A and B are shown apart, each in its own frame.
Chain A
Amino acid sequence: MLKKTLEIKSPRNAYGETLVELGAANKNIVVLDADLSCSTQTCKFQKVFPERFFNSGIAEQDMMCTAAGLAAEGKIPFVSTFAMFATARCLDQIRNSICYPRLNVKIVATHGGVTVGEDGASHQALEDISYMRSIPDICVIVPADYNEVKQVVKYAAEIYGPVYIRIARTSLKSVFDEDKYIFNPERAVKICEGSDVTIVTNGETLCEVIACAQMLKDKGISAEVLHVPVVKPFLAASDVIESAKKTGMVITVENHSIIGGLGSAVCEVLSQNLPTRVLRIGTPDCFGQSGEQRSLLEFYGLTDKKLCENISRYLEKR
Chain B
Amino acid sequence: MNSFNNNVRRDILKMIHGAKSGHPGGSLSCVEILSVLYNKVMFVPPEWKKSPDFQKRDRFILSKGHASAALYSTLANKGFFAHDELFTFRKLASRLQGHPSTRLGLEGIEVSTGSLGQGLSIAVGIALALKLNANSAKVFVLLGDGEMQEGSVWEALMSASHKKLDNLIIVIDRNKLQIDGDTDDVKSLEPLDKKLQAFGWECMEVDGHNEDELENAFNVAKSSGVPFAIIANTLKGKGVSFMENNVGWHGKAPNDDELKRALEELNA
Contacts and interface: CB of A to CB of B under 8 A. Distances in A.
Listed residue (B115, B124, B133, B162) with the most chain A CB atoms within 10 angstroms of its CB: B124
A73 B133 contact: yes
The secondary-structure label for the interface of chain B is helix
B246 to A, nearest CB: 29
B127 interface: yes
A195 to B, nearest CB: 47
Interface bin, chain A: 20 to 34
A30 B115 contact: no
Interface stretch (A54-62, A143-151, A168-176): A54-62
Given A93-B118, A96-B118, A70 B111 contact: no
Contacts of B129: 69-70, 72-75
B132 A65 contact: no
Interface stretch (B75-83, B150-158, B226-234): B150-158
A100 interface: yes
B125 A66 contact: yes
B122 A72 contact: yes
Nearest to A61: B152
Interface of A: 30, 51-52, 54, 56-57, 59, 61-75, 77, 92-93, 96-97, 100-102
Contacts of A73: 125-126, 129-130, 133
A74 B101 CA distance: 18
Interface residues of B, number: 31
A69 B124 CA distance: 7
A62 B128 contact: no
Interface string B219-240: 0000000000000000000000
A66 B159 contact: yes
Interface in B193-226: none
Contact of A97 (B103, B118, B159): B118
A102 B103 contact: yes
Given A72-B122, A75-B132, 11 more contacts: A51-B132, A62-B159, A68-B118, A69-B129, A70-B126, A71-B125, A93-B152, A97-B112, A97-B115, A101-B101, A101-B112
B102 A101 contact: yes
Nearest to B156: A62
Contacts, number: 105
B162 to A, nearest CB: 8
B115 A69 contact: no
Contacts of A61: 117-118, 121, 151-152, 155
B112 A96 contact: yes
Contacts of B112: 96-97, 100-101
Interface in B83-123: 101-103, 110-115, 117-118, 121-123
Interface in B33-48: none
B123 to A, nearest CB: 6
Interface in B133-165: 133, 151-152, 155-156, 158-159, 162-163
Interface of B: 101-103, 110-115, 117-118, 121-130, 132-133, 151-152, 155-156, 158-159, 162-163
B124 A57 contact: no
A98 to B, nearest CB: 10
Contacts of B156: 62, 65-66
Contacts of B103: 100-102
A296 to B, nearest CB: 32
Nearest to A90: B152
A96 B122 contact: no
A59 B101 contact: no
A2 B99 CA distance: 50
A63 B124 CA distance: 9
A298 to B, nearest CB: 39
Nearest to B125: A69
B126 A59 contact: no
Listed residue (B103, B114, B121, B151) with the most chain A CB atoms within 10 angstroms of its CB: B121
